[in-house]
């Protein structure tokens, strides 16, 4: 076995006591999938520091596949992100108290990067397994998009593929957010496992509707 998957999640932020992205990612640490071993790493929820930690892991592990995972409270499914944009525009401060507004992530960098994951094949596989999933057209402008863009910038021109997956609240978090949807940790973990397996085994993506009208 010589393939490595880097799977990242975030520390808690915004007053939460946990972050489901890390709770799910760390469950997969050391798991072997389709001839690859998963290495789970936690990133700080901080602009700049998150990318520094990510770049260190990319240099140390040299993964074949790198997938970042983040919490998206209010979403009801696993969201396979299509595009990362070159902008930080924080609605709330990060965990270091920073709140950049309309600031490029990489000065002079491309306006956007597309995921190199087979996001439609992953979405289809998740739905067949009964796990709610959808292609998402926006990863926001907070630290999740910051990491997604930084990941794709770091991988650009190289052989490794990468992308970003947003996940819902856990049920214990949703209790503090009336009306917010949630998903069990078991379901999220199973979904991430299937998404990684599909990324490792799919040779091409599928042509299937994943767009929106708004």
Read off the DSSP letter of residue 34. Answer: T
Burial class (CB in 10 A: 0-12, 13-18, 19+), 157: exposed
Active-site position among 39, 146, 153, 166 = 166
81 is annotated as an active-site residue: yes
Active-site position among 46, 144, 146, 153 = 144
- Residue 135 is inside which H or E element, if any? strand 133-136
Among the listed residues 68, 60, 64, the one whose alpha carbon sits nearest the alpha carbon of residue 3: 64
144 is annotated as an active-site residue: yes
How far apart, in Å, do the first and last CA atoms of the chain sit? 44
DSSP string, 136-199: ES---SSHHHHHHHHHHHHHTTSS-EEEEEEE-B-HHHHTTSTT--B--HHHHHHHHHHHHHHH
Q: What is the Cα 125 distance to its own chain's centre? A: 17
57 is annotated as an active-site residue: no
Active-site position among 46, 81, 146, 153 = 81
Residues with Cβ within 8 Å of residue 2, at least 6 apart in sequence: none
- Residue 59 is inside which H or E element, if any? helix 49-61
Evaluate whether 154 touches 99 at the Cβ level (below 8 Å).
Answer: no
Residues acting as catalytic residues:
81, 144, 166
């Amino acid at each position: 076995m010589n393939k490595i998957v880097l799977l990242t999640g975030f520390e808690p932020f915004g007053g939460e006591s946990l972050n489901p992205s890390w709770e799910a990612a760390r469950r997969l640490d050391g798991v072997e999938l389709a001839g690859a071993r998963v290495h789970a790493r936690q990133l700080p929820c901080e602009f700049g520091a998150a990318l520094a930690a990510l770049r260190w892991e990319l240099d140390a592990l040299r993964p074949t596949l790198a997938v970042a995972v983040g919490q998206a409270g209010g979403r009801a499914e696993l969201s396979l992100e299509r595009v990362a944009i070159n902008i930080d525009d924080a609605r709330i401060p990060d965990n270091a108290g920073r709140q950049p507004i309309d600031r490029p992530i990489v000065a002079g960098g491309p306006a956007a990067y597309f995921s190199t994951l087979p996001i439609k094949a992953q979405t289809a596989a998740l739905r067949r397994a009964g796990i709610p999933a959808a292609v998402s057209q926006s990863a926001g402008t907070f630290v999740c998009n910051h990491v997604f863009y930084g990941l794709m910038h770091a991988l650009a021109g190289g052989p490794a593929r990468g992308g970003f997956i947003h996940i819902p609240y856990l049920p214990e978090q949703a209790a503090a957010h009336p009306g917010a949807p949630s998903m069990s940790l078991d379901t999220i973990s199973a979904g991430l496992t299937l998404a990684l397996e599909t990324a490792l085994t799919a040779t091409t993506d599928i042509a299937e509707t994943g767009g929106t009208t708004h």
